[in-house]
A and B are shown apart, each in its own frame.
Chain A
C-alpha cells in the first residue's frame, strides 16, 4: 500500500524498539551472530497479515510505548504481546489488518502480559541492510540503531499479494510458569547432577535482555553444581543454550547471544519453544522438561 516515498515517522520509541527480520544467518564465521526477531513467530504472523514476504523487516517493541506516524497510506499489523493499539487515539484490534491514512498515528500502549510486540508494515521496514539483514544485534551493536524520536523509517515496495484475513485469532503469551522442552547437553556431563535442571522452577531475573535470560533458583531448590572445574575451551553456542557460569545460575541465550561461550552448556531449549522465551517477563518462572535431540538429516 505504500505510496511512493511514504514511510513511518517515529514520534516516540518506547523503552526499546528495534528493527528486526529473520536475522543474519550464516555469518558465524565472521564472528557475527544471528540476531533477528526474538519472537520469530509473532513477526512472521505480522508479515503474513499484511501479505509481506517472510524476509521483510518489522519493528520489535519492548513492552510497548511506540508511537509512529504514517507519511502516506499504509497497511500495518501488530502482533506478539497484547499491547493496547490505537490509531489516532481510537482503540484498534490486535493481530489484525489496520489501514492507516496519511498522517495517522499508530500508538502502542503498555503490554499487560508478554514482553515484545511486533509491528509489520506492508512493504517492510526498508532501512539499509547490514551483512544481508536489517536486524539490530544489541550485543554486537550491528545493524540499524534502536529507534529514536524523529527517526524516519522508509517502507519498501508493496508485495504483489493482498491481505487475506482481517484478524488472526492467536492465543496470547503464556502467563505464570512456562514449560519448555530442553535437549540435554552437550556438556551435561560437566555437572554432578544435570537432572536438577528438570526439577522445580527457574525464575527469570530483571537482568535479562535480547542477549539472554538470567535465571535464578527460588529459595530451597537445588542449583546446578559443576563436577569438572577446569576451563572449557570456548565453543560455539546456539540460541536457547543454557550456559552455566560458576555461580550455578544459568544464562539462557536469546537472539543476540555471543557466538561462542566459555562455560559449559547443560542443555538447549528446543527450537519450537524458543519464541515463547521472548515473551517471558522478569519474575515469571520457567520449568524445563527433557526432550530428545531432534533428528538431523544427513548432509
Chain B
C-alpha cells in the first residue's frame, strides 16, 4: 500500500506532530499514520481507528505495556467486527495501559460507542459524536435535529462529560495528550515519572494560602487556586492543574497535578459553583476519576468543602444516591494512597464518600475553618426554638462541627494550618510511595453501575 493511495488525513498528521518527540510515529505498517514513538522520552502507541489492520498497534501496546492513543478520524467507519474487536482489546487493556481516544471530527454511529471505553477522550473543536441517526431522532421527537445538536463538542464537554478536554486544533490535542501522559505511568506496573527539584521546597511554609479562602464557610472561592498553591509550580507554560472534564459538572473539579515532583489526581468540590454541591454528574465524575487514578497507582488528593449532596427526590435525575455509592465504592476499593484535606464544609453522608477516613483514606487532615457534621447547623437547629435560642443553637452546632471536636470523634487525623499543608502532604506521599494493594481472589467486584 503506498501513501498516495491511502493518504493519511492532515488532522491525524497534525495530531501526531503535537504528540511525538519526533513529530510523527514510526509506522507499524508502511504508509499508515499508526505506530509507535517517543513522547517525552517514553514510548507510546498510536492507532488510527479503522486503519489498524489486524489490530497490530493495539497488540503492540498490549505486548509492550505502552499507553494506547486511538485517533478517530472524521467519519471513521466502524463495522460490527471492528467495533467488537476494538472493544475486546480495549477492555482487555483497561487498567493495564492508559488509553486515550482523540476525536478529530464526526465519531457517529458505532464509533460513538467506543469513546466511553477510553480512559480519557480528547476532542478537537467541531468534533461530534452521536449514536443515533439525526433522521431517526427527528421521526421520534418531531423536532428537526442536526448532528451537532445530538452530540456536538459543547454538548459532550458540558452535558455528557464525554469529551474530557476540547483542543482548538489537532496539534493542540496532541500537545494536551503529551501533557496528560507525562502524569501517568506507561502501565499499571510502572510508576509515574517523578520530576526533580520541586518549587517551592515542600518543606517551606506558605503563609499566604489561608488568605485565599473567605473566613465564612460557604462563601464562594475558586478551589483551583488552592490546588495551585498546594502543588508544585508548573513548568513554563504548563498549568498547575491539568483539568479533566472541566466544563462538565464544574461544581466538582478533577485533574492531575504534581506535589514534591510526584503526580497525583485531585478531586475537589468547587465552592464557586453551586456551593460545590454533589449531584449525579459531580459524584459520577469523581467516582470514575478516582477509579482511574487507582488503576494506575496515582495517589488521590481530595479537598473537601461542599454544600453536600443536592437535596432531591430519588426520581430526580440529579439525585446523587447511586453516583455517591459509586464514589464510596471507588474510595473503599482504592489501594492507591488517598489523602484528604477538609478545607471547609463537610456535612452529611456526602462527606463520607469524599475519601473520608471511615471510607479508607490514608490521611485526613482539616483546616481550622473546617465544619464536620452529620447535618449543617441550620438543619440541625431545633425548629421550635424562640429567636435567641435558635441563634444560640446555630452557634453551638458550629462549635460542635469544628475540626478539633471532629478529630476527637475519630473523623480526622488532625488539624493542620493551611500554611503547613503542602509539607504534610509531601511527607505523606513519601511515606506511602511504596504501598501496593492486593485484591482478594474474585472475578471482579460488583461496582454499583
Residues of A bordering B, CB below 8 Å: 1, 3, 73, 82, 84-85, 87, 90-97, 99, 158, 161-172, 289
Contacts and interface: CB of A to CB of B under 8 A. Distances in A.
Nearest to A289: B143
10 contacts: A1-B390, A1-B391, A90-B219, A93-B218, A96-B275, A99-B391, A162-B381, A164-B379, A169-B276, A289-B143
Given A165-B379, A166-B376, A93 B143 contact: no
A289 B142 CA distance: 12
B387 A165 contact: no
Contact of B383 (A85, A90, A161, A165): A161
A166 B274 contact: no
Given A99-B391, A162-B385, A165-B311, A90 B376 contact: no
Contacts, number: 80
B218 A96 contact: yes
Given A90-B214, A91-B214, A163-B378, A169 B383 contact: no
Interface string B166-187: 0000000000000000000000
Contact of A166 (B214, B221, B377, B387): B377
Summarize A's interface: helix, strand, loop or mixed: loop
A171 B274 contact: yes
B390 A162 contact: yes
- Chain B contact-residue range equals 20 to 34
B286 to A, nearest CB: 15
A91 B219 contact: yes
A166 B274 CA distance: 13
Contacts of B383: 161-162, 164
Given A94-B275, A289-B143, A164 B218 contact: no
A175 to B, nearest CB: 11
Contacts of A168: 311
Contacts of A167: 218, 275, 277, 307, 376
B216 interface: yes
A169 B379 contact: no
A1 B275 contact: no
B323 to A, nearest CB: 15
Interface string B198-210: 0000000000000
A252 B440 CA distance: 64
B234 interface: no
B394 A99 contact: yes
Interface in B328-378: 376-378
A95 B271 CA distance: 12
A95 B378 contact: no
B273 interface: yes
A95 B390 contact: no
A169 B277 contact: yes
A93 B381 contact: no
A8 to B, nearest CB: 17
B428 interface: no
B220 interface: yes
Contacts of A91: 214-216, 219-221
Interface string B385-425: 10100110010000000000000000000000000000000
A44 to B, nearest CB: 16
A222 B324 CA distance: 48
Interface in B297-311: 307-308, 310-311
B378 A165 contact: yes
A170 B251 CA distance: 11
A85 B214 CA distance: 11
Nearest to B221: A91
A47 to B, nearest CB: 15
A90 B387 contact: no
A171 B215 CA distance: 23
Contacts of A163: 378, 381
A74 B215 CA distance: 20
Nearest to B306: A169
Given A1-B387, A289-B143, A169 B274 contact: yes
Closest 8 pairs (CB-CB, A-B): A169-B277, A93-B218, A91-B219, A91-B214, A166-B376, A166-B378, A167-B307, A169-B307
A73 B377 contact: no
Contacts of B273: 172
A90 B216 CA distance: 8
A129 B381 CA distance: 33
B379 A166 contact: yes
Contacts of A96: 218, 275
Contacts of A170: 274
Contacts of A99: 391, 394
Most B CB within 10 A of own CB, among A85, A91, A95, A170: A91
A167 B251 CA distance: 14
Nearest to A93: B218
B149 to A, nearest CB: 10
Contacts of A93: 216-220, 275
B219 A73 contact: no
A97 B274 CA distance: 15
Nearest to B377: A166
A85 B277 CA distance: 19
Contacts of A164: 378-379, 383
B201 to A, nearest CB: 31
Nearest to A158: B387
